[in-house]
Amino acid sequence: MNGGSTPMAVSMSRTPPMIKIPRVFWPWQQKVKLGPMTLSPMGFGTWAWGNQLLWGYQESMDSELQQIFNLAVDNGINLFDTADSYGTGKLNGQSEKLLGRFISEFEEARNNIVIATKFAAYPWRLTPNQFVNACKSSLGRLQIEQIGIAQLHWSTANYAPLQERALWDGLVAMYDKGLVQAVGVSNYGPKQLLKIHDYLKERGVPLSSAQVQFSLLSMGEDQMEIKSICDSLGIRVIAYSPLGLGMLTGKYTPANLPRGPRSFLFRQIIPGLEPLLVTLKEIARKRGKTIPQVAINWCICKGTIPIPGVKSVKQAEENLGAVGWKLRPSELDELENAARDSPAKMIQNVFQTS
């Protein structure tokens, strides 16, 4: 029941994407295994799809978001990461709804599309059945019959340890009922990661993925320990914020900060990134790539599946140029040395457990 994609009927036609990337960029030759699924080496994150506060989402953007989705799928990307909490205020769940609409209009490729969604550990979700109901609600918004990867969005071990067991049992129930192909976690530290892996294994449920903040800005001891644990247990690391919320794009300086809440974080970190940004720029120039493409490719070379966020066709085109090639070992060393020489580091997610 959990071993393959579920065929889904579709009756709608889709509008062709405006742009197609030349075949040289197609990542078909690179595939990654995650549980029973075969994935593209990079996915697209959809946190911004519905988030007005941080990313300035407006419903007028939906047409371009559909173009992004079509462009990605047409060029070999089959993993899209979302969450049932993505979307602000009355737009809660908007990211899943948009993905559901876009999938329903993509007849020829939809059976290969893998949705990874995350379930929020809301304080009112106290039983496994409540988590199963959350999963069914997501399936409705996504207009699919089976979720690819069901992930716990964060652990409650630090503040509500009794709730944690219900969340884990909820994952087991989703998997046993065939609602999901694989299960994973997000924002779990090394200790909790080992605990949930063992708990699920005892119940016949493999832990297939661990989503963590992972980039040249976030390569601290916890990240590397998590990566080591995952490698030893056959768990695939999904790297969120591979561009450090935009700090690794090379577009921002202390005098040119983004608008909104991100500006406060950027003001603290950007001044200390010069060694890393200079190295990224130099390697990008030598390889005929862009800074974001090099930063994302570093994540791929480290054996993770990066999921950069996208909210414009231009960003999507650029991200697609991160696949189909690999940094040389000497370039990886250069980047990691520059990252260590840069005094600024990404602030850890407050939901990250130990």
* Structure confidence by residue, pLDDT tens digits, 86-117: 876 777 788 999 999 999 988 777 789 999 99
> What is the CB neighbour count within 10 angstroms for residue 326?
14
- Mean pLDDT across the chain: 87
**How much is the pLDDT for 348?**
65
**Per-residue pLDDT at 29 exceeds 60:** no
**Per-residue pLDDT at 23 exceeds 50:** no
Which range (42-51, 63-72, 182-191) has the least confidence?
42-51
**How much is the pLDDT for 347?**
67
**How much is the pLDDT for 262?**
80
Question: Regarding predicted confidence, which is higher, 60 or 56?
Answer: 60
Q: What is the dihedral of CA 253, 257, 261, 266, to 10 degrees?
A: 10
Asked if 175 is an active-site residue, the reply is: no
* Amino acid letter, 117: T
Quick check: 270 and 180 in contact, CB under 8 A? Answer: no
From 86, 188, 240, 252, active-site residue? 86
Model confidence at 81, pLDDT cuts 50, 70, 90, reads: very high
The candidate with the shortest Cα–Cα distance to 157, out of 146, 165, 148, is 165
Q: How far apart are CA 194 and CA 183, in angstroms?
A: 15
Model confidence at 254, pLDDT cuts 50, 70, 90, reads: confident
**How much is the pLDDT for 161?**
93
> What is the CB neighbour count within 10 angstroms for residue 243?
24
- Written as six digits, the tokens of 136 are 């069914």
**In terms of residues, how long is the chain?**
354
> What is the CB neighbour count within 10 angstroms for residue 286?
11
Quick check: 65 and 49 in contact, CB under 8 A? Answer: yes
**Per-residue pLDDT at 13 exceeds 50:** no
How big is the CA angle at 164 (ends 162 and 169), to the nearest 5 degrees? 110
Quick check: 237 and 305 in contact, CB under 8 A? Answer: yes
Quick check: 268 and 4 in contact, CB under 8 A? Answer: no
**How much is the pLDDT for 4?**
42
- The full set of domains in the chain, from first to last, is 34-247+302-326 (3.20.20.100)
* Structure confidence by residue, pLDDT tens digits, 152-192: 999 999 999 999 999 999 999 999 999 999 999 999 999 99
Q: How far apart are CA 209 and CA 194, in angstroms?
A: 12
The candidate with the shortest Cα–Cα distance to 66, out of 262, 306, 316, is 316
* Amino acid letter, 45: G
Helices marked H in the chain — which ranges?
Answer: 52-55, 62-74, 94-104, 128-142, 161-176, 190-202, 221-233, 262-269, 274-287, 291-301, 313-320, 329-341
Spell out a b/e string for 112-127, using b for 16 or more CB atoms within 10 Å of the CB, else e.
ebbbbbbbebeeebee
Q: In 3-state terms, what secondary structure has residue 118?
A: strand
Quick check: 307 and 81 in contact, CB under 8 A? Answer: yes
Span 334-346, average pLDDT: 87
* Structure confidence by residue, pLDDT tens digits, 115-146: 999 999 999 999 999 999 999 999 999 999 99
Model confidence at 47, pLDDT cuts 50, 70, 90, reads: confident
Rg (CA), the chain: 19
Model confidence at 324, pLDDT cuts 50, 70, 90, reads: very high
Quick check: 85 and 92 in contact, CB under 8 A? Answer: yes
Q: How far apart are CA 226 and CA 229, in angstroms?
A: 5
* Structure confidence by residue, pLDDT tens digits, 265-278: 888 888 889 999 99
Q: What is the bridge-based pairing of β-strands 207-213 and 180-186? A: parallel
Cα separations (Å) of 326 from 24, 213, 299, 301, 321?
14, 21, 10, 7, 11
**How much is the pLDDT for 350?**
55
**Per-residue pLDDT at 219 exceeds 50:** yes
